[in-house]
C-alpha cells in the first residue's frame, strides 16, 4: 500500500470524523443525526483512529510496513484531521481469523474510534470487518483482496468495509486462462493453506480452469 493510497485513507478519516460512527443505533447529537450513531468530540480533544495489522509472526513485514505508512500519512497532515489531533490505537491481528476477531473486538469496544484502517490480510478482515461495522465503525482494508471482501455482490455485513485493492476474482480468472491457454495445461491441482483468502482463490481458480 503506497503513501498516496494511505493519504486517501486519512482523507476518508476526515469525512468519518465529520461525525459518524461509534454507536449501533440512530442517534442525534446537537445538529447531527446519523443512523449508525454519532461521536461527539470536544474542542481540543483528539480524533481516535484504530488500526489492525499483522505485527507479529512470519508476516510481520507486511503489516508493519502498512501500519507505519498509516502513521507517516498522518504525519504528512501534521497529525491533524478536521481541526483535531489524530490519536492512533494499534492492534495486532496476527494475519489470522482468530487474530482479526480479537483485534476488531477490542477496537469495537472503544466508542471514541471514528474509523479503523486495516487490515492487510483477508483472513483477519473476514471476521474483523463485520464486528466493526456492527459497532458502527467503518474500516478501510489496505490490501485485503479476497473475493468475499471485494466482489460487487459481497455480503451486506461488509457494507462498512472500504477496499483499496483489486478484486481477486480477476486474479483467479487470469491464472486459470494463462495456465490453460499459454502453458497448455489440461489438468491442475489447486492447493490452499486453509485460510479464507487462499481457500477462496483456490476454489475460484479451479472453477475457472474447469470452465476454460
Question: Residue holding cell 443525526?
Answer: 33
Q: What is the pLDDT of residue 201?
A: 80
Cα–Cα distance measured from residue 47 to residue 44, given in angstroms and rounded to the nearest whole number: 10
- Domain with residue 93: its CATH number is 3.40.50.2300
pLDDT, greater one: 186 or 105: 105
Q: Assess whether 21 and 93 both reside in one domain.
A: yes
Report the candidate in 99, 109, 115 with the shortest Cα–Cα distance to residue 8. 115
pLDDT, greater one: 21 or 158: 158
Q: Answer yes or no: is pLDDT of 36 > 80.
A: no
Instruction: Identify the band that residue 24 occupies on the pLDDT scale cut at 50, 70 and 90.
Output: low
Report the candidate in 16, 6, 66 with the shortest Cα–Cα distance to residue 38. 16
Averaged pLDDT, 66-87: 93
Give the chain's domain count.
Answer: 2
Please provide residue 122's backbone torsions phi and psi, each rounded to the nearest 5 degrees.
Answer: -65, -35
- Show the cell assigned to 101: 476477531
Mean residue pLDDT across the chain: 84
Q: Assess whether 98 and 23 both reside in one domain.
A: yes
Q: Assess whether 89 and 177 both reside in one domain.
A: no
47-53 and 113-117 beta bridge pairing: parallel
Domain range for 189:
170-211
Q: Assess whether 91 and 179 both reside in one domain.
A: no
Share of the chain above pLDDT 70, in %: 88
pLDDT tens for each residue of 171-202: 778 888 898 899 999 998 888 877 777 788 88
Q: What is the pLDDT of residue 190?
A: 83
Question: Residue holding cell 487470469?
Answer: 174
In order, the DSSP letters of 137-153 are --EEESS---HHHHSTT
Instruction: Identify the band that residue 107 occupies on the pLDDT scale cut at 50, 70 and 90.
Output: very high
pLDDT tens for each residue of 117-161: 999 999 999 999 999 999 989 999 998 988 888 888 889 999 999
Q: Assess whether 26 and 70 both reside in one domain.
A: yes
Q: Assess whether 113 and 197 both reside in one domain.
A: no
Q: Which helix (H) or strand (E) holds 47?
A: strand 47-53
Q: Assess whether 183 and 160 both reside in one domain.
A: no
Q: Answer yes or no: is pLDDT of 8 > 70.
A: no
> What sign does the dihedral 173-177-183-186 (CA atoms) show?
positive
Amino acid at each position: 500500500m503506497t503513501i498516496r493510497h494511505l493519504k486517501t485513507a486519512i482523507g476518508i478519516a476526515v469525512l468519518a470524523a465529520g461525525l459518524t460512527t461509534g454507536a449501533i443505533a440512530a442517534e442525534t447529537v446537537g445538529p447531527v443525526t446519523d443512523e449508525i450513531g454519532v461521536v461527539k468530540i470536544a474542542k481540543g480533544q483528539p480524533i481516535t483512529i484504530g488500526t489492525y495489522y499483522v505485527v507479529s509472526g512470519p508476516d510481520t513485514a507486511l503489516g508493519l510496513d502498512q501500519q507505519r505508512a498509516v502513521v507517516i500519512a498522518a504525519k504528512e497532515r501534521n497529525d491533524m484531521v478536521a481541526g483535531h489531533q489524530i490519536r492512533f490505537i494499534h492492534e495486532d491481528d496476527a494475519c489470522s481469523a482468530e487474530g482479526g476477531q480479537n483485534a476488531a473486538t477490542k477496537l469495537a469496544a472503544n466508542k471514541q474510534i471514528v474509523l479503523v484502517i486495516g487490515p492487510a490480510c483477508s483472513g483477519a478482515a473476514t471476521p474483523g470487518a463485520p464486528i466493526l461495522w456492527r459497532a458502527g465503525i467503518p474500516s478501510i482494508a489496505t490490501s485485503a483482496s479476497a473475493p468475499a471482501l471485494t466482489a460487487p455482490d459481497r455480503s451486506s455485513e461488509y457494507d462498512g468495509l472500504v477496499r483499496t485493492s483489486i478484486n481477486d476474482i480477476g486474479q483467479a480468472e487470469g491464472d486459470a486462462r494463462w495456465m490453460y491457454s499459454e502453458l497448455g495445461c489440461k489438468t491442475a491441482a489447486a492447493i490452499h493453506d486453509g485460510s479464507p483468502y487462499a481457500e477462496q482463490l483456490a476454489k475460484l481458480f479451479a472453477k475457472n480452469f474447469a470452465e476454460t
